[in-house]
Chain A
Amino acid sequence: MNYRHPIDRIFQKSLENYDSGAGDHIWDNINKYRKQRKKRVIGKVLFYSSLAASLALVVVILQSLEEKTIAPPPAGFYLSGSTASNQPATKEISIVQNVPSSTGGQSRRNVVAPSFASMPSSIEPEELPLRKTMATSLYSGDTDIDISNTPPLPPLQSITAIYDDKRRSSMPKSPECSKFEAPGLRWTLDFLAAPQITFKTLKATDPVDSEYAEIRQQTEKNSSSYTAAVRLGLTTAKGWSLRSGVQFTQINEKFGYSTAQEEKITIINKYDNQGNITGTDTLREKTLQRTVSTNQYKRLDIPLLAGFEWRKGKTGFVVNTGPIFNVSFSTEGKMLTPGLEIVSLSNGEKSHSNHTFKKTLDVGWYAGVAVSLPISPKTQLMVEPHLQFHPASVTQPSHHIKQAYSQAGLSIGLRHSL
């Protein structure tokens, strides 16, 4: 059996099962927290669902707006669609076909197409001339076709299908094809990176903590920050655009704090003229230990930006603005607690960060004006001065300090037309 120090045993025996009592207010707090969390989860689900629905709706509206600008096809090009379907489907169509019979070369009238709906859907390419003739005849109302010199008629196919296939096969195989589907809608991919200036707010939530806020302000100095983003954009012919993607932002700070470490005592003897010790001086020195670290605040966001684009000569201009939804927030480094103890902010089980900082942040706002210049037919160089405004605190609501960061920066990057 392991040796236990007598002090250890006394403390263990006395405190192991001691009941200190816990107030009902703690139970109330637990209940309140769990209720709030449930509400938050429901709220988040509703929020992201409505966001996705809104996004889908915007895309659908943009596409439907663009489809209205598509020029109608030349008259008679389509047999299918409204023109064909407007023909009386029950009209009896007759085709004269020479059928060898015992009665000689007499013609016989066969009813072959009582309804388009009952027609099969595949056809061999060599049948096309015949079908085209039939279709033309149907359209013109001429239902008597002499097919005496044609091969025997296979099962009749959907005329609409034939002409849809034919139309597709006759389309030129060039990038212009895509414009036929939705002319004017343009997809772009932006790659941006920017150095930023950070505006930090450190405010005590309670006046009692204002001194702590001041000490934090003094011990944490902003050094640099940057952001990088990849955004997919959809722009209409009229210049309205919608952009979304991922954006990573990192804020770097320098933490520095000196703590009194150990007291060094030096005793200096005093001597008289004969060299005898007459007394002593005691010199007490406190050595200072300087703790420094680079603090990093990293956030991953999804911006949802609405914008407007216009051109002036070769130069393009884009105004973008919209909310930024945070996906994750993490911290690294060190900070002081209200008790002026240095604690770690790095992620992980032992981090103080878990209790101090939020894991995901509230909505922020983005605004930027981009100027672009073409560097190749599909690629543009882009410069975008921007503001990232994050009024909400990155700390937990229960923390002593409200800590928020907003940024201004100059993004430089490329826009690639897809």
Chain B
Amino acid sequence: MSEQDVIRGCILENRECQYEVFRRYAGKMMTVCLRYAPRQMEAEDILQEAFIKVFDNIEKFEHKGSFEGWIRRIVINTALKKFQKIGFQQEQHNLEPYPELPIEPSVYATLHEEELLNLISRLPEGYRVVFNLYAIEGYSHKEIAEMLDIQESTSRSQLVKARKALQEQVLAMQKIAV
């Protein structure tokens, strides 16, 4: 079944087509949810809510970009609605200098995807959201500031802290391994 057929079927509330959409994209979207949620359970909640929105609004998909990209945006927005504003209240605007820790980027490359996801999930809420939006989704600080209703400087500082926290976690893992 082509993507067009599947979308058309979903508009007509055809359950087989809806399941096809779920089967094709749910796995990848689960990764997105796991990046934003602190635990598996919350990630599943987000995925469920996001797919309900996808099926409810599928007739609004305008075929301008990729269907996967459209679903991904819904998943991200759902995740943000669930977890945002957390941890930003106490954030100050001044950017403190954070020295880079001596870890070669190649060290990260040796880590499996599950381990990377695990590293992200252990980040504090605010760091995690900004790191996901900036580093993986590719949003600018200006866009993140608008999405999260925070200042650009807050977004920058959260990102720097997130990277530092990730480095610290990797260092700790290395120490345990040694």
Interface membership of B156, Cβ < 8 A: no
Whether A342 and B135, one on each chain, are in contact in the complex, defined by CB atoms closer than 8 angstroms, is no
Q: Which one of A2-10, A72-80, A102-110, A146-154 contacts B?
A: A2-10
Interface 1/0 per residue, A337-350 and B, CB below 8 Å: 00101111000011
Chain B nearest CB from A349 CB (Å) reads 6
Kindly state the separation between the CA atoms of A27 and B138 in the bound complex, as whole angstroms: 29
Whether B48 and A26, one on each chain, are in contact in the complex, defined by CB atoms closer than 8 angstroms, is yes
Whether A10 and B113, one on each chain, are in contact in the complex, defined by CB atoms closer than 8 angstroms, is no
Interface membership of B81, Cβ < 8 A: yes
Kindly state the separation between the CA atoms of A342 and B51 in the bound complex, as whole angstroms: 27
Give the residue of A18, A289, A354 whose beta carbon is less than 8 angstroms from that of B113. A18
Chain A nearest CB from B107 CB (Å) reads 9
Chain A nearest CB from B17 CB (Å) reads 13
B38, B87, B135 interface centre (most CB from chain A within 10 Å): B135
Whether B135 and A12, one on each chain, are in contact in the complex, defined by CB atoms closer than 8 angstroms, is yes
Question: Which residues of B line the A interface, CB within 8 A?
Answer: 15, 19, 22, 26-31, 34-35, 38, 44-45, 47-48, 51-52, 55, 80-82, 84-87, 89-90, 105, 108-109, 111, 113, 116-117, 120, 125, 131, 134-136, 138, 148-149, 163, 166-167
Interface 1/0 per residue, A54-94 and B, CB below 8 Å: 00000000000000000000000000000000000000000
Kindly state the separation between the CA atoms of A351 and B81 in the bound complex, as whole angstroms: 6
Give the residue of B34, B120, B131, B138 whose beta carbon is less than 8 angstroms from that of A20. B34
Give the residue of A6, A7, A29, A355 whose beta carbon is less than 8 angstroms from that of B82. A355
Kindly state the separation between the CA atoms of A33 and B90 in the bound complex, as whole angstroms: 37
Indicate whether A22 sits within 8 Å of B27 (C-beta atoms), given known contacts A7-B166, A27-B22, A355-B82: yes
Kindly state the separation between the CA atoms of A10 and B166 in the bound complex, as whole angstroms: 12
Instruction: For B120, list chain A residues within 8 Å (CB).
Output: 11
| 24 interchain pairs, CB-CB under 8 A | A10-B108, A11-B116, A11-B120, A12-B135, A12-B136, A14-B113, A15-B117, A18-B113, A18-B117, A19-B27, A20-B30, A20-B34, A22-B26, A22-B47, A26-B26, A26-B44, A27-B26, A33-B52, A34-B55, A341-B87, A342-B86, A350-B85, A352-B85, A354-B81
Interface membership of A313, Cβ < 8 A: no
Chain A nearest CB from B178 CB (Å) reads 21
Interface membership of A169, Cβ < 8 A: no
Chain B nearest CB from A64 CB (Å) reads 46
Instruction: For B26, list chain A residues within 8 Å (CB).
Output: 22, 26-27
Indicate whether A350 sits within 8 Å of B135 (C-beta atoms), given known contacts A7-B163, A11-B116, A21-B30: no
Whether A30 and B135, one on each chain, are in contact in the complex, defined by CB atoms closer than 8 angstroms, is no
Kindly state the separation between the CA atoms of A9 and B131 in the bound complex, as whole angstroms: 12
Interface of B, secondary structure class, is helix
Whether B48 and A5, one on each chain, are in contact in the complex, defined by CB atoms closer than 8 angstroms, is no
Chain A residue with Cβ nearest B138? A12
Kindly state the separation between the CA atoms of A12 and B136 in the bound complex, as whole angstroms: 4
Kindly state the separation between the CA atoms of A23 and B43 in the bound complex, as whole angstroms: 12
Whether A15 and B19, one on each chain, are in contact in the complex, defined by CB atoms closer than 8 angstroms, is no
Instruction: For A9, list chain B residues within 8 Å (CB).
Output: 105
Whether B125 and A341, one on each chain, are in contact in the complex, defined by CB atoms closer than 8 angstroms, is yes
A16, A18, A29, A33 interface centre (most CB from chain B within 10 Å): A18
Interface membership of A101, Cβ < 8 A: no
Chain A nearest CB from B132 CB (Å) reads 9
Chain B residue with Cβ nearest A8? B135
Chain A residue with Cβ nearest B136? A12
Instruction: For B31, list chain A residues within 8 Å (CB).
Output: 15, 18-20
Chain B residue with Cβ nearest A34? B52
Chain A residue with Cβ nearest B68? A17
Whether B135 and A5, one on each chain, are in contact in the complex, defined by CB atoms closer than 8 angstroms, is yes
Instruction: For B131, list chain A residues within 8 Å (CB).
Output: 11
Chain B nearest CB from A2 CB (Å) reads 8
Whether A30 and B22, one on each chain, are in contact in the complex, defined by CB atoms closer than 8 angstroms, is yes
Indicate whether A15 sits within 8 Å of B125 (C-beta atoms), given known contacts A7-B108, A34-B55: no
Chain B residue with Cβ nearest A10? B108
Whether A350 and B81, one on each chain, are in contact in the complex, defined by CB atoms closer than 8 angstroms, is yes
Q: Known A-B contacts: A11-B136, A12-B135. Give 10 more (CB < 8 A).
A: A10-B116, A11-B120, A15-B35, A21-B30, A22-B47, A29-B48, A33-B52, A341-B125, A349-B81, A350-B85
Whether B51 and A30, one on each chain, are in contact in the complex, defined by CB atoms closer than 8 angstroms, is yes
Chain B nearest CB from A77 CB (Å) reads 65
Indicate whether A17 sits within 8 Å of B28 (C-beta atoms), given known contacts A30-B22, A355-B82: yes
Kindly state the separation between the CA atoms of A298 and B48 in the bound complex, as whole angstroms: 29
Indicate whether A21 sits within 8 Å of B84 (C-beta atoms), given known contacts A26-B48, A29-B48, A30-B22: no
Kindly state the separation between the CA atoms of A341 and B30 in the bound complex, as whole angstroms: 24
Give the residue of B15, B30, B81, B105 whose beta carbon is less than 8 angstroms from that of A22. B30
Whether B28 and A261, one on each chain, are in contact in the complex, defined by CB atoms closer than 8 angstroms, is no
A19, A20, A344 interface centre (most CB from chain B within 10 Å): A20
Instruction: For A8, list chain B residues within 8 Å (CB).
Output: 134-136, 163
Kindly state the separation between the CA atoms of A38 and B89 in the bound complex, as whole angstroms: 39
Instruction: For B55, list chain A residues within 8 Å (CB).
Output: 30, 34
What are the 3 closest A-B residue pairs judged by CB atoms, nearest first? Answer: A8-B135, A22-B26, A6-B105
Indicate whether A10 sits within 8 Å of B117 (C-beta atoms), given known contacts A30-B51, A342-B89: no
